[in-house]
Amino acid sequence: MKNYLLLILCVISTKAFAQQSATLTGKILEEKTAQPIEYAGIVLTSKKDSTIKIGAVSNATGEFILKDVANGDYKFKITVVGFNPVEKNIAVNGKPLNLGVFKLKEDAIMLKDVSVNGRIATATIKKDTVEFNADAYKTQPNAAVEDLLKKLPGVTIDKDGSILVQGQKVNRLTVDGKDFFGTEPKTATKNLPADVIAKVQLIDSKTLEAKATGIDDGQREKVLNLTIKEDKKNGWFGNANLSGGTTDRYSGYLSANHFTKKMQFALLGMSNNISNSSFQYEDLNSFTGGNIGNIFAPPGGGGFSINVNNGRTTIGGSGVFDNSAIGEVTTHSGGLNYSNSWGKKDKLTLSSSYFTYFSKGLGYRFSNVQDINQDDVLRTDEVSNRNSDNQAHRFNFKVEFHPDSLTDIALRSNAILNYTSNINNRTFNSTFDLAGKTNQGNQYLNQENATPSVFGEFSLTRRLKKGSVILGLNGTQNTFNADWLNKSLINNYRGNLIDVTDINQQAEQENKSKNYGFAINYIRPLFNKKWSGNIAYLQNNSAVEAQQTTLSYNPLTNTYDTVVPDFSNTLNNKTWLQSARVGLIYNRTQWTYNLGLGFQETGLDASTYSSTGLNTNNIERRYYNILPRLNISFRNPAKHTLQLNYNANVNLPSVNDLQPVQNNSNPLYQRVGNPNLEARKSHRMSVNFNTFSADNNKYWNGYFLVNYALDDIGNSINYVEGVQYVQPVNVDGNYYMNAGTFFGQPTKLKGLRMGYGLNLSFSHNSSFINSEKNVTDRYNFGPNANMSYDVADKLNAGIYFGVQYSKVNNSQPSALDNKFISFYSSTSLSYEFIKNTRFNAELNHNGTAGRADGFNNNIFLLNAGMEQYFMQRRITLALKGFDILNQNTNIDRTVNGSRIEDIRFNSITRYFYVSLNYKITKVGSKSERSNPRSTVN
């Protein structure tokens, strides 16, 4: 593995930093003041082939350098806003060339703010920011920010709504520099109209700690900031839409936004019966301003997952969109978002939001499961229907106060109220390939859950004469209440005999958890400005009480009054963590080295009690670990970056993994916790590199990640008459690797852009099947390509194609190697063939091969329609069709250890509808003109 990593680093360094003999240098100054000009753009164009360009920008002293310049004749040009451009012809003969000092004259025309005829500058580089002029990228009428982002070089939006910039995921989205419904970027892009955006800024932002202390730690996060045009402030903008169609389909939608220079207000609402739950995820991005992380992440900032399928979004762990509805879903949801600031330099800022969500689903589920069982394979077919009812409320509040230039205070809190109800009827049968039929049965399960949660966080940063102190406090209280009624009838086949298991039980489960933490960090410069160090201490404590009581039906009393001991107990669990950490940072001009050590104690004290109150088990664990971390980063003015990260972590097992009580809500898959689990230790290393040229909009990037775990948590599975009894156990040697690269560029044909990508991953996981170890190796490999073609705002076309090859090998002799292929393509066309009349069409193709019979798919989903614009395009009347070919099918495959599961859900098929859209563009103050200045290139 070390050899592979060394090879990758060598390739990266060779590509990014190899030097040749021809190097050009120079310096740029203002003519009047002789002051250096920073961020001036330098372009070298070959006279022989004008498509060959080399670009650079000047640094803080006005100096620039052009490396790796091949021999030949070139046209040299300097451009910077506010100054006259400079051009000259030069010849390169393989020897270093100093071009001397260039003294630029101020552009009198631009200083007078007079319009300059010329094409709009598409992109500029400003230190850690790549800024795109939104007006330089044509979008369709009524287009959303998402459509604008897709046209920017190096920006892609994947199927789950995540925004990628040159292959790197955007962690945060802001509007005019402010959080807009949270921090993660998957929502504002759908609701904010594209024509209200002035600039799109892609920022390599420093961490909040680095900003507060002024000491650069080398860490960066991708932030997408949208600036609103001045003439759109002090007014309202957004969209209102109403649709109705065949088969009783309907949809209503409202997005209204009101901005001033300091205040932001957003209103979002929707109602439909076309399974567009949760606004298809990008809708939430406008409402939250792309800040899903703060708005919908679990209290305390825990992890959560986002899944999008046929327009329906589920945000697992959010407490709002933990939506178990499947099939055809009816949704009503909406919210309010408000933020404001007061005082000079925004001394006090406030942001708050409320979101509510209601959904009902009627789903039909068909599944085929293959389970490895030593020397045989167990196959289970299942048919179920589910009625789901979900209700959620989410409150968020954040305030920041800066009483003076040395002090920053922040307070954040949120609360969640979530209620779900599911009624599930299922039939199933299981058969071994060799031993034959093992069981057949049915189940009625009625379950209701309530999960209220509250979270609060306080932070204080104080800058001292030498260094800064950061203090943080946080607390969380979560409650999970579940009640279910389980009626199951199972026929177990033993040769010619049939053993009947009849379950009629009622259960109650309540988990209460409290968590609070404290951290203090002192950071200061050391020997000189290049060196700094920090020392920190943090402590975290949690207490959990988990109780489950299961009662069997008593026919004599006609009530549930008989305790089932194996399915009833109480677990009291206390955990704590305290850590002392030291770190050292060394900053050079383009390199930053950040390394540290953590000395950590982790502890666990748990006790279990039977249904009668008898103490049945006590666990006490203490772990002492030294945890290293390392970050090496490189970035230069030419937007070449390289970053290497390594860290080690220790994680205690969860309450669900520890609690030794069975859960038989799934009669074929019964799980019990393991109170003897050890803590998980992991080592994670990643390498990322990225290049971007604002001159020709080319980008290339790649990444490599590996994660290795000791005492990881796997499953021990035992089969008894076709029923799986599962318990978590510790395993060693699990690891995961992932790598990929992306490349994109415009072509010689104006308006045509191409992009290419490649991803590959490998995982190695262990489990136990009937006490014998099984090792599962999974490989995924897949290329993808995309193309877009835009002719002004008349013709817009795009193509995306991706393929993934998956292979799963298991060490158990009975397990046949499994391999399958998934491929996805999308073609879109929009053409305004008559003024104010536009044709739109989108064809998506999903295909698979290698799945179980009946679960392979080869689906063409065609959506198309006509749009007519009225009142200067403020009103759009459309006639459209969904799934015109009537092929929509919802099929998915899950591969997990020794299990392969193919699932098919019911889904909405062909319907036609009429849609009326009104574009809200009532502005409070009209501008005589937007900024007329443009850069002449």
Quickly list DSSP for 442-460: EEEEEEEEE--EEEEEEEE
Tokens standing for residue 215? 């000491």
**Does residue 426 or residue 318 have the better pLDDT?**
426
The region that residue 724 occupies, defined by phi over 0 for left and psi between -120 and 50 for alpha, beta otherwise, is beta
For residue 313, is pLDDT > 50? no
Q: Lowest mean pLDDT: which of 114-128, 451-465, 584-598, 899-913?
A: 114-128
DSSP code, position 874: T
Q: How far apart are CA 210 and CA 528, in angstroms?
A: 17
Mean pLDDT of 546-560: 91
The region that residue 124 occupies, defined by phi over 0 for left and psi between -120 and 50 for alpha, beta otherwise, is beta
Contacts of 241 by beta carbon, 8 Å cutoff, 6+ apart: 251, 252, 253, 254, 915, 916, 917, 918
For residue 169, is pLDDT > 70? no
Mean pLDDT of 718-738: 85
User: So what's the pLDDT on residue 291?
Assistant: 41
pLDDT 10s digits, 829-843: 999 989 889 999 999
User: So what's the pLDDT on residue 505?
Assistant: 92
**Does residue 296 or residue 607 have the better pLDDT?**
607
Chain mean pLDDT for the chain = 78
Q: How far apart are CA 11 and CA 510, in angstroms?
A: 54
For residue 213, is pLDDT > 60? no
Q: How far apart are CA 140 and CA 790, in angstroms?
A: 10
Q: How far apart are CA 275 and CA 331, in angstroms?
A: 7
* Of residues 140, 128, 141, the one with CA closest to residue 220: 128
Provide the 10 A C-beta neighbour count for residue 854: 12
Dihedral sign for Cα 317, 644, 185, 338, please.
positive
**Does residue 216 or residue 597 have the better pLDDT?**
597
For residue 610, is pLDDT > 70? yes
Contacts of 876 by beta carbon, 8 Å cutoff, 6+ apart: 141, 142, 867, 868, 869, 870, 915, 916, 917, 919
For residue 331, is pLDDT > 60? yes
Residue % of the chain over a pLDDT of 70: 77
Residue % of the chain over a pLDDT of 90: 19
Q: Where residue 690 falls among pLDDT bands split at 50, 70, 90? A: confident
Q: Lowest mean pLDDT: which of 711-720, 725-734, 832-841?
A: 711-720
User: So what's the pLDDT on residue 317?
Assistant: 42
Q: Where residue 168 falls among pLDDT bands split at 50, 70, 90? A: low
* Of residues 797, 788, 790, 803, the one with CA closest to residue 757: 803
Tokens standing for residue 518? 């404290």
Segment holding 111, helix H or strand E: helix 108-111
pLDDT 10s digits, 772-820: 888 888 888 999 888 888 776 688 888 888 898 888 887 876 555 577 8
Q: Where residue 910 falls among pLDDT bands split at 50, 70, 90? A: very high
Tokens standing for residue 327? 């099939």
Residue with tokens 């420093």: 206
Q: Where residue 626 falls among pLDDT bands split at 50, 70, 90? A: very high
Q: Where residue 927 falls among pLDDT bands split at 50, 70, 90? A: very low
3-state secondary structure 690-734: EEEECCCCEEEEEEEEEEEEECEEEEEEEEECCEEEEEEEEECCE
For residue 752, is pLDDT > 70? yes
User: So what's the pLDDT on residue 931?
Assistant: 30
User: So what's the pLDDT on residue 209?
Assistant: 56
Q: How far apart are CA 659 and CA 678, in angstroms?
A: 14
User: So what's the pLDDT on residue 132?
Assistant: 75
Grouping H, G, I as helix, E, B as strand and the rest as coil, residue 2 is helix
CA 906 to chain centre: 27
Q: How far apart are CA 745 and CA 166, in angstroms?
A: 11
Tokens standing for residue 547? 């109780």
β-pair partners for 868? 837, 877
The DSSP bridge pattern shows strands 264-272 and 305-309 to be: unpaired
User: So what's the pLDDT on residue 51?
Assistant: 52
Tokens standing for residue 527? 């020997």
* Of residues 170, 238, 167, the one with CA closest to residue 205: 170
For residue 424, is pLDDT > 60? yes
User: So what's the pLDDT on residue 816?
Assistant: 54
- Whole-model pTM: value is 0.68
Grouping H, G, I as helix, E, B as strand and the rest as coil, residue 297 is coil
For the chain, how are helix, strand and coil distributed in percent, rounded to 5? Answer: 5, 65, 30
**Does residue 183 or residue 701 have the better pLDDT?**
701
- The angle subtended at Cα 465 by Cα 459 and Cα 467, nearest 5°, is 50
**Does residue 908 or residue 79 have the better pLDDT?**
908
Q: Lowest mean pLDDT: which of 198-207, 263-272, 357-366, 470-479?
A: 198-207
Q: How far apart are CA 250 and CA 385, in angstroms?
A: 24
Phi first, then psi, for residue 660 (nearest 5°) are -85, 65
Total residues belonging to the chain: 937
pLDDT 10s digits, 171-212: 677 777 666 655 545 556 665 677 778 787 777 665 555 555
pLDDT 10s digits, 465-492: 888 899 999 998 888 888 999 999 999 8
Tokens standing for residue 635? 């970035």
3-state secondary structure 518-583: EEEEEEEECCCCCEEEEEEEEEEEEEEEEEEEEEEEECCCCEEEEECHHHCEEEEEEEEEEEEEEE
